[in-house]
Amino acid sequence: VKFATKMDEAVSNVSTDVLEFAHQKSQAMSKLDKSRAGRIDPRAVAICAAINANDDMYTTSSCAGRCYLWKGEGIKATELFSRGRISHEKIVPNYFLGEYSTEEEEEFRMAPLNESTNVYNGELWLRFEPFILHARCRTLEVARDLASAARTAFKTVGLQTSHRSSWMVAISGDESLEMPLRGPNGKPILTSTHVQWLTALINIRHDRNWAKIDRFCKAVYNLKTHIDYTFPRYELIGDVAILRRGEPRPSDDALAKIIGGKKKNHGVRIVVQHDDEQEAQLSDQADRSRRQNFIQLCGPPRNPLMTTHIESGVAYIIDLNRVFFTPRLALERARLCRCVSRGDRVLVLFAGCGPESLAICARTEADSIISVDANPVAIQCLHRGQQALAKTKPQAALKLTIIQDDVLHFLSSCQDSFDRIIAPRPKHPSLDGDRCPSLDKNHDDTDAFGGPGGYRFLEAILPRLSKSGECHWYDFAADHELTQNCPRSCAFIQAACDRASVTARITYVGRAGPPVAKRQLRICIDFVLLSSSSGNNNISPEKDKDIT
């Protein structure tokens, strides 16, 4: 009874404004990205993830900083303004001297400082725009805290009110640059001798801008939530409440309160508890990671334990006994969706019942999504989830291809390349986040989880990434490693890339969801493939992405 009373108190302590703000945040995080690239800027992923991890705030728009050429009035969103050669990364001298076949307008295709180029009519300007971000905060106190964190790196920080009784914080950098490249007569003002100087001007501003973003990100991670309530001691998936491990079995009266409380507890119909003794008897490590045994405490009998979980308007069909799923990774799934660019070819490994796959289908403008998993029950659940999505978004459901196969076998036989690969590798039951540091792929050859640290998975993933492709690699680390950006896991990825003769850049290291065990965290490391060795035949050369 005391257990159920605490849960009722937890629900009643959550005020209406907290619940309303949580709903607003969920709606905002599930919207399609309307920007030109169709995704969040890679350099802004970390700061947006840090802000969105806080229950009291969320981002509404952001830009990590960019340079571009423009002509016209200089005011955006007008018919007399046009821009081209947009770059969010450092530039090279060819930016001013070379031709860009990817540009839509003829004037931006030609070299801006080439004296023989006569297609420019009138003035041509170079602009650098620094970091800018807007975040909505639940209370004025939260907005002040975020503004204080922003002022550790940026000077221009402002507060705005909104019609929903929340506060908007606007943050912008001060590394702006505006200079003409061609005069009113269309003749170049600067020559090719100034190209190195111009390139350095832009790249120095990029470096200073990114350093300030990193400083701001560290300050945000030190902020604490202002919501004063205790989470219930159960996990709600669909209409099933799963008591957390270690919780004592509640009394019948307490169970009745869980199902039939004042707020009906969001439609709870069944309460279950982990059967630790039964799970401990499973000898096979792979089965132990997939299979979950529960003891049903109350509610109508249900075997198999199937449920439908709704998350940001997407329905997931889940067999809780045979498929891993947790709603605590909802924020991580939202982050992944905001990383997917328009037209991306996406591969989701270890897809399970499809939480990442279905979310990307419904909430992004990816061109195609291929989901691979060896678990037949999970594949069946994913097919049913695709059918449910087809009822509301038929075109989105058509983008999804489902394949039942072993991940390593699929990667070795697949000849396609992908712009984005998501690898939520399952947790090894015996390592508990402390991986074997060895990169010997022959070590522990019977390990179904890809050898030490999943090396065989990573080795097979790299050839399937297109040029400039991005991988979201999931790993497990101790909590103290996260404060140092997980150097052990990052070194592991870099070593694997070196052995594959590829160059990669790590763009994001962050926590994915709550702890999986005592002082053990699930982490995600995003890295972008930059280049491959000319002698490496395993990496397939693919089309280069647009500079934007």
Residues 501, 534: Cα–Cα separation, whole Å: 9
**Which helix or strand (DSSP H or E) is residue 497 part of?**
helix 487-499
Q: What distances in angstroms separate CA 124 from CA 80, 120, 186, 436, one per listed residue?
A: 13, 7, 8, 56
**3.40.50.300, 3.40.50.2300, 2.130.10.30, 3.40.50.150: CATH of 322-532:** 3.40.50.150
Q: How far from the centroid of its chain's Cα atoms is residue 312's Cα?
A: 15
Choose among 128, 176, 177: nearest CA to 156: 176
| Superfamily of structural domain 31-228 | tRNA wybutosine-synthesizing-like (3.30.1960.10)
C-beta of residue 144 within 8 angstroms of C-beta of residue 27: no
Look-up: residue for tokens 């594949």? 379
* Pair 89, 37: CB distance under 8 Å: no
Where in the chain do CATH 3.30.1960.10 domains reside?
31-228
CA dihedral 450, 344, 506, 86 (to 10 degrees): 170
Query: What φ, ψ does residue 445 adopt, rounded to 5°?
Result: -65, -15
CA pair distance 231, 49, nearest whole angstrom: 22
What six digits make up the tokens of 225? Answer: 């939530």
User: Are 101 and 109 contacting, i.e. CB atoms less than 8 angstroms apart?
Assistant: yes
Classify residue 216 as exposed, middle or buried by CB count within 10 Å of its CB (0-12, 13-18, 19+): buried
pLDDT, tens digit only, all 548 positions of the chain: 444 444 444 444 455 677 788 888 888 887 777 777 778 888 999 899 899 988 889 999 999 999 999 888 777 767 778 888 889 999 999 888 887 766 566 678 777 887 666 666 788 899 999 999 999 998 889 999 999 999 999 999 998 876 666 889 999 999 999 999 888 887 888 888 899 999 999 999 999 999 999 999 989 988 876 655 444 567 889 989 888 776 677 777 777 766 665 444 457 888 888 876 666 665 444 454 457 788 888 888 898 899 999 998 899 999 999 999 999 899 899 999 989 998 999 999 999 999 999 999 999 999 999 999 999 999 999 999 999 999 999 999 999 999 999 999 999 999 999 999 999 987 765 444 444 444 444 444 444 444 555 788 899 999 999 988 999 999 988 888 887 888 888 988 998 999 989 999 999 998 898 888 788 889 999 999 986 543 333 333 333 333 32
Which letter does DSSP use for residue 425 in this model?
A: P
Location of each CATH 3.40.50.150 domain in the chain: 322-532
Q: Give the C-alpha separation, 44 to 47, whole Å.
A: 6
Structure tokens of 295? Answer: 């003891």
- Residues written for the chain: 548
Query: Is the previous residue joined to 437 through a cis bond, with omega within 30 degrees of 0?
Result: no
Evaluate if pTM is beyond 0.95: no
